[in-house]
Chain A
Amino acid sequence: MTTDIATPATPKKAVTKKTRAKTKATNNRAAVLFFIAPFSILFSLFYILPILVAIYQSLLTVEREGTFGKPTEVFGGFVQYARVFQDSSFWDSILRVLGFGIVQVPVMLGLALLLALLLDSPLVKGKRFFRLAFFAPYAVPGVIAAVMWGFLYSPNLSPFTAITKEINFLGADLVLWSIANVVTWVFVGYNMIIIYSALLAIPSEIYEAARLDGASQARIAWSIKIPLITPAITLTAIFSIIGTLQLLAEPQVFKSFTSAVTSTYTPNLLIYSTASVPNVNLAAAFSVVLALFTFALSFTVLKFTQRKAD
């Protein structure tokens, strides 16, 4: 309603603004700089700078003489990167999280999509309650969720020992999927909200038209809703892929519940333990390679889905 009043006034204002912009261009630039300064300063300090530090660190190598000589950092070129590519445990960990992602991401997004469609369908009652209920696990911090599930899985301390004594959820065969379950539990609601808000943005005229054509709810969901929210699904997929490659908290917590999670179980755990040696240069090189790999994978998925959409 406010827009109705505001719209007629807009053209007039725009004209005056345009002329003013031409005469006082310098002033405007100063204002723009002023307003983006808080963002750029924080962005540079806490985002760009750490990345530059990491890249810089990854190009250094340590030299020392004898057994207890003092370490001096010298430029080493790509020495650390050579170590990264020779380190089989790093690539094993990447393969492990990729396997994890191939199974877990589709399951999680499938569930999120299903829940979002159910919430959006006119057949479901109590939408507000369910929307909050599905979203609630995301409000639990990841570490807390992992600790909680760790106890649930534990063969001796679980409330469901009848099951956990029979099936070893924390054993070497299953623990990856036990972690996948925790991640899914936490993030389904989050992804559901993103998909659900995309569904709300679809104009209701389209549904009316579909209903006039005699489409069932299932048909509307399949042929109208899903194609229209593909961008949202792609977005959640990219986020999930990045999240998968960066798995740290859950396996870190599970380390204290099971011997099956090693210090090189995921790439980030490996980086963490390398930094603890401490070998910051090698850890920085691992981080840079992981970041590049994540970029590459995310863009591949993006390209792939876009081409499909065209």
Chain B
Amino acid sequence: MANRIARAGGALVLVSALALSACSTGAGTDGGTDAADACTPSDGPVTLSFTTWLPGMEDAAAIWNEQNPDIQVEVQTGPNGLGGTYNNFFNQIEAGNAPDLGQIEYDALPNFRVQDGVVNIASCEGVMDAQDEFIDWTWSQVTFGEEDSVYAIPQDTGPEALFYRADLFEAAGIDIPTTWDEYAEAAAQIREEGGYITNFSQSDINAFAGLVWQADGQWFENDGEAWDVTLDSPESLKVADYWQGLLDDDLVATLPAWTDEWNNGYNSGEVWSWVSAVWGANSITSGAPDTAGNWAVAPMPQWNEGDSAAGNWGGSSTAVLKGSEHPYEAAQFALWLNTDPEALASMNATANIYPATKTGGDLPAFSEGLDFFGGQNIYDVFAAAGAEVNPDFTWGPTMTQVYTDVADGFSGAISGSGTLTDALTTGQQKTIDAMKAAAIAVNE
């Protein structure tokens, strides 16, 4: 009897194994062509699923759903990309049940493309014509600078500027720094007052990338044959040295970002400024409610006096994920969502997004001063910064790994083992290793 049971168990295992191999044969049969995927309308009404982490996306989708009874969009919300949604997307793509549409930040788009996770929608109606509507650098992020390639529709941007406590700077008689040298001097003065000029986040490596971006550095280059990894480029190391100097002199706080400790640092007035993206206004408003009215925004400090270079931190696109049965309809929605004034106004109202379209800055919401910033119209500063962002910054194909490994190094530097420069050189090697392990061609 035991024998019989064992055999039955064995049969079960065998069936499972067969099911497994059936799954895996299904996954590997995609064609190897790079041309844009075919894009034709579906017959009859369709329902699209759309996963995003922007709060209030339901409102924008409701506007579309009312105008398009045959193309209904269902919004699912998840954690922010690196916080779990990308992980979910990768797993869903592997399992063949990804949503039709997904929010993907520009820095993650190469990762999704290299994993064959996003549909090239260049041949979908209206997509190529939309190029002129978007800020140039965002379009090159979604096309990778290639002809006949559009892997997502740009949604928003994150031009950076300097948020600062106007009241504290004034009371201490410190001028608003316009160069990084002045910023370091101000940091020392503020430290004498008992505060910190800013917080250096060991985990927001994309923010650090924004600083490198401003310094005209590059972390990756793709010549079509193989990738060049330049985390340790001279510009990158210059930025790292600068911040290491501030860390060594205990001139910047090192609170873990996006935690209650971090909110507390800003809310209590211990931390005086933050170089952040336009959407940072939202974070500071919600994280430091007690400081309302005392903040202001100025352009980023410059490496060379008189320059007006700006970095960019974040910004998302709307991509059609692999496995969608309705790429045509999905592309139509993505185009509408990110160009239609009503949709942009809705997303701005619920999630403070700053659109990636050239005319996005003309939204009525951007012409008003904000009480939290003492009535200043901060969007003027960010609009000016957006025009100065280097359009040719390239993201690598394994940014999740880059962020994790560099963050480990930065954490070490803050805990006293190694420096930010060490973190970048170690991250450089680990990135090359990870790319090789994923069979991505890389120059050493």
Q: Is B38 positioned at the interface, with any CB of A under 8 Å from its CB? A: no
Neighbouring B residues of A61 by C-beta, 8 Å: 439
Q: Which 5 A-B pairs have the closest CB atoms?
A: A259-B411, A262-B408, A172-B415, A278-B90, A49-B16
Identify the closest chain A residue to B91 (Cβ).
A278
A34→B261 CA distance, assembly (Å): 57
Q: Would B30 and A70 count as touching, CB distance under 8 A?
A: yes
* Inter-subunit contact A64/B415 (CB<8 Å): no
Q: Are B397 and A63 in contact (CB under 8 A)?
A: no
Decide: A67 near B397, CB < 8 A? Known: A262-B411, A276-B86. yes
CB of B202 closer than 8 Å to a CB of A: yes
Asked if B171 lies at the interface with its beta carbon under 8 angstroms from chain A, I say: no
Q: With contacts A64-B439, A154-B261 known, is A264 near B398, CB below 8 A?
A: no
Contact assessment for B439 and A258 in the assembled complex, using a CB-CB cutoff below 8 Å: no
Residue numbers in A under 8 Å from B8 (CB-CB): 33, 40
Specify the chain A residue showing the minimal Cβ separation from B408. Answer: A262
Q: A33-B8, A172-B416 are in contact. List 11 more A-B contacts (CB 8 A).
A: A40-B12, A48-B13, A49-B13, A52-B16, A67-B226, A67-B227, A71-B439, A73-B28, A157-B264, A264-B408, A276-B90
A61 to B258 CA separation, bound complex (whole angstroms) = 37
Q: In the assembled complex, which residues on chain B have CB atoms less than 8 Å from the CB atom of A156?
A: 255, 261, 264-265
Would A263 and B400 count as touching, CB distance under 8 A?
A: no
State the CA gap A60–B8 with chains docked (Å): 29
B12 close to A44 (CB less than 8 A): yes
- A40 surroundings in chain B (CB, below 8 A): 8-9, 12
Q: Among residues 1 to 36 in chain B, which have CB atoms less than 8 Å away from a CB atom of chain A?
A: 1, 4-5, 8-9, 12-13, 16-17, 19-20, 24, 27-28, 30-32, 34
Give me the interface of B with A, judged by CB distance under 8 Å: 1, 4-5, 8-9, 12-13, 16-17, 19-20, 24, 27-28, 30-32, 34, 86-87, 90-91, 94, 110, 113-116, 144, 202-203, 222-227, 254-256, 258-261, 264-265, 397-398, 400-401, 404-405, 407-408, 410-412, 414-417, 434, 437-441
- A121: CB under 8 A from chain B? no
When distances are taken between beta carbons in the complex, the residues of chain B under 8 Å from A62 are: 438-439
- Check A68/B259 contact, CB under 8 A, given A40-B12, A172-B417: no
A56 contacts chain B at the CB level, 8 A cutoff: yes
Is A278 a contact of B87 with CB atoms below 8 Å? Answer: yes
Q: Are A157 and B260 within 8 A (Cβ)?
A: yes
Residue of A nearest to B414 (CB): A259
Contact with B along A82-116 (1 / 0, CB 8 A): 01000000000000000000000000000000000
On chain B, the residues within 8 Å of A56 by CB distance are 20, 24
Inter-chain contact B1/A64, CB cutoff 8 Å: no
A263→B412 CA distance, assembly (Å): 11
22 contacts between A and B (CB under 8 A): A28-B1, A32-B5, A33-B8, A40-B12, A48-B13, A49-B13, A49-B20, A53-B20, A56-B24, A66-B226, A68-B113, A70-B116, A71-B438, A73-B24, A172-B416, A259-B415, A263-B404, A276-B87, A276-B90, A276-B400, A277-B400, A277-B434
The answer to the question of A210 belonging to the interface, with a C-beta cut-off of 8 Å to chain B, is no
Closest to B407 in A: A263
Q: Chain A residues near B17: list those with CB within 8 A.
A: 49, 52
**Which chain A residue shows the least CB distance to B27?**
A73
A45 within 8 A of B: yes
Whole-angstrom CA separation of A154 from B440 in the bound complex: 41
A180 and B20 alpha carbons, distance in the complex (Å): 39
Would you give the shortest CB distance from B82 to chain A, in whole angstroms?
8
A141 at the interface (CB under 8 A from B): no
Pairwise interchain contact B16-A48, C-beta atoms closer than 8 A: yes
Say yes or no: B225 contacts A66, CB within 8 Å: yes
| Nearest B-chain residue to A260, judged by Cβ | B415
Check A273 against B404 for contact (C-beta < 8 Å): yes
Give the complex CA separation of A48 and B13 in angstroms: 7
Q: Check A44/B144 contact, CB under 8 A, given A32-B5, A278-B90.
A: no
| Identity of the chain B residue whose Cβ is nearest the Cβ of A258 in the assembled complex | B256
Please give me the residue from chain A that is nearest to B264 by CB atom: A156
A152 shortest CB reach to chain B, Å: 13
Complex alpha-carbon distance, A306 and B335, angstroms: 69
Set B1, B32, B265: member contacting A69, Cβ < 8 A? B32
Residues of chain B with a CB closer than 8 A to A44's CB: 9, 12-13, 16
Which residue of chain B has the shortest Cβ distance to A282 in the bound complex? B437
- Chain B residue nearest to A44 (CB atoms) is B12
CB nearest to A151 among chain B residues: B260
- The smallest C-beta distance from A230 to any residue of chain B, in angstroms, reads 31
Beta-carbon nearest neighbor of A264 in chain B: B408
A72 partner residues in chain B, CB cutoff 8 A: 28, 32
User: Which residues from 14 to 65 on chain A have a C-beta closer than 8 Å to any C-beta of chain B?
Assistant: 25, 28-29, 32-33, 36, 40-41, 44-45, 48-49, 52-53, 56, 61-65
Q: Is the CB of B5 within 8 A of A277?
A: no
Question: If A49-B16, A263-B408 touch, does A256 touch B32 (CB 8 Å cutoff)?
Answer: no
Q: Is A280 an interface residue (CB 8 A)?
A: yes
B178: shortest Cβ distance to chain A, in Å? 31
- A258 CB to closest chain B CB (Å) equals 7
Contact A71/B13 with A62-B439, A157-B264, A262-B412 known, Cβ cut-off 8 Å? no
Task: Determine if B261 and A157 form an interchain contact, defined as CB atoms under 8 angstroms apart.
Answer: yes
A67 contacts B222, CB within 8 Å? yes
The docked-state distance in angstroms from the alpha carbon of A6 to that of B19 is 49
Q: Is A171 an interface residue (CB 8 A)?
A: yes
User: C-beta contact mask, A266-284 vs B, less than 8 Å → 1, else 0?
Assistant: 0000000101111110100
A 116-157 to B, binary, CB cutoff 8 A, 1 in contact else 0: 000000000000000000000000000000000000001011
Please measure, in the bound complex, the distance between the C-alpha atom of A172 and the C-alpha atom of B415, giving whole angstroms.
6
Contacts of A66 in B (CB 8 A): 224-226, 441
Distance in angstroms from A10 CB to nearest chain B CB is 23
Rounded to whole angstroms, the CA-CA distance of A38 and B412 in the bound complex is: 50
Given A33-B5, A66-B441, answer yes or no on A71-B417 (Cβ-Cβ < 8 Å): no
Chain B residues with Cβ below 8 Å from A68 are 34, 110, 113-114, 144, 222, 397
Decide if B5 touches A36 in the complex (CB within 8 Å).
yes
Contact indicator B404/A276 (Cβ below 8 Å) = yes
* Closest A residue to B259 using CB positions: A256
B226:A171 contact, CB within 8 angstroms: no
* CB-CB nearest in chain B for A33: B8
Minimum Cβ distance to chain A for residue B143 (Å): 12
Question: How far does the alpha carbon of A120 sit from the alpha carbon of B91 in the complex, in Å?
Answer: 50
Cβ of A32 and Cβ of B260 under 8 Å apart?
no
Q: Complex Cα distance A63/B227, Å?
A: 16
Min CB–CB distance B25 → chain A (angstroms): 10
CB neighbours (8 Å) of A276 from chain B are 86-87, 90, 400-401, 404
Give Cα A259–Cα B257 distance, bound, in whole angstroms. Answer: 10
CA A63 – CA B28 in complex, angstroms? 11
A207 proximal to B (CB < 8 A):
no
